[in-house]
A = this chain, B = another copy of it.
Amino acid sequence: MKRIYLDYAATTPTAPEVVEAMLPYFTDRFGNPSSIHSFGQEGKAAIEEAREKIANLIGAKQEEIIFTSGGTESNNSALKGVAYANQHKGNHIITTPLEHHAIIEPCNFLEKSGFKVTYLPVDKDGLLNPEEVKKAITTKTILISAMHANNEIGTIEPIAEIGRIARERDIYFHTDAVQTFGHLPINVDELNVNLLSISAHKLCGPKGMGALYVKKGTRMVSFMHGGEQERRRRASTENVPGIVGFGKAVEIAEEKMEEEAKELTILRDKLIKGIFEKIDHVCLNGHPTKRLPNNINVSIEFVEGESMLLNLDMEGIAASTGSACSSSSLEPSHVLLSLGLSPELAHGSLRFTLGRYTKEEEIDYVLEILPKIVDKLRSMSPLYKKAS
């Protein structure tokens, strides 16, 4: 059976060109970049080349890019690093209820050590209002963190405006751009950010590889303590193949980004339209237009997400849900709940995220299969009975 992967927001396949680029750095040019011999120096040269590509794509300087082990580490470093280093100025952090766990959990951790965290309100489409940021700021605010686009519902946030507000008040501003980097144009100056998190495996790069942009002059302490790598800002032997692969992924993204976004938007809108035509009692989650080009998130009433996923999987289609049942926490997606969705609708959510290798036939296939699955599940749902 052919398998159709529509879960690009969770992770992407590593592009063959990326794997190709990485290969020599495993077995041949395998040196430790801290070593002064040629094995080390060729590794060093390779990571600096990758760093340059990443810096260029977001309009940053090379020395403003720190490699990390992924988006989660970038977020942990940014939040904890700024919080600890600026404690003397204040203990207040502003963020949003839409953030990935990799922001929420570090915030929870910081709250335990004396920081206060304010979560901004969001509207029903998951859009932030910069005016609310102004209201939330106090004299103790040292950091604002708001994601560039949401991983579940795809809503793209007014980061530049929020950044401007932060900058005017001299407050550090971080954005989690894990879902947008390599997919939408990013310029750190235009976005007015001090820190920006990215992760390679969301743009057909390798897993376990990320980076943090840190604007020159930003006061922060290290998160990963040890050796002198990354100008003493992130210890541990550099993952040279990973970094090279990240660089290659960025090179490809730079080239294809614009075209890919256009193509995916067409497929995205086709899938949304098709679902609405073929299934009743459906709603779209996230903003209808300020939306990632590859994100479809719908709630389908009277059926539960995981059972839809399993049925899709049996037909070879990989998707995702915000239903509790997909996590060990037993609570549905905090993002969907923050939009004001009922738990029922949150449990009935289904996310398809498209990507570089998605074909139109795959969308057609989903539109053929999904309605049947929904019918089947509704026919055994005690909720549907009552509603019909």
Contacts and interface: CB of A to CB of B under 8 A. Distances in A.
A329 B231 CA distance: 11
A236 B72 contact: yes
Contacts of A199: 237
Nearest to A105: B225
Nearest to A77: B224
A101 B36 CA distance: 18
A206 interface: yes
B39 A318 contact: yes
Given A3-B38, A36-B313, A69-B69, A237 B326 contact: no
Interface in A27-79: 27-28, 30-32, 34-40, 69-73, 75-76
Nearest to A108: B225
Given A11-B32, A69-B208, A73-B236, 8 more contacts: A11-B30, A15-B27, A36-B313, A69-B69, A109-B225, A206-B239, A207-B238, A228-B327
Interface stretch (A119-127, A304-312, A379-387): A304-312
Chain A interface bracket (under 10, 10 to 19, 20 to 34, 35 or more): 35 or more
A209 interface: yes
A226 B101 contact: yes
Contacts of A36: 306, 309-310, 313, 326
Interface in A299-330: 306, 309-310, 312-313, 317-320, 326-329
Contacts of A26: 13-14, 18-19, 206
A226 B75 contact: yes
A14 B103 CA distance: 34
B5 A236 contact: no
Say how many copies of this protein the assembly contains: 2
B19 A73 contact: no
A42 B39 CA distance: 35
A21 to B, nearest CB: 11
Contacts of A34: 10
A206 B241 CA distance: 9
Contacts of A103: 226
A66 to B, nearest CB: 13
A342 B106 CA distance: 45
21 contacts: A5-B31, A5-B39, A7-B32, A10-B31, A11-B30, A13-B27, A37-B317, A38-B313, A39-B318, A69-B208, A69-B239, A70-B236, A72-B235, A76-B224, A76-B226, A109-B222, A207-B240, A208-B237, A208-B238, A208-B242, A228-B327
A340 interface: no
A51 B326 CA distance: 23
A138 to B, nearest CB: 24
A236 B102 contact: yes
B226 A106 contact: yes
A313 B241 contact: no
Given A27-B16, A101-B235, A3 B39 contact: yes
A206 B312 CA distance: 35
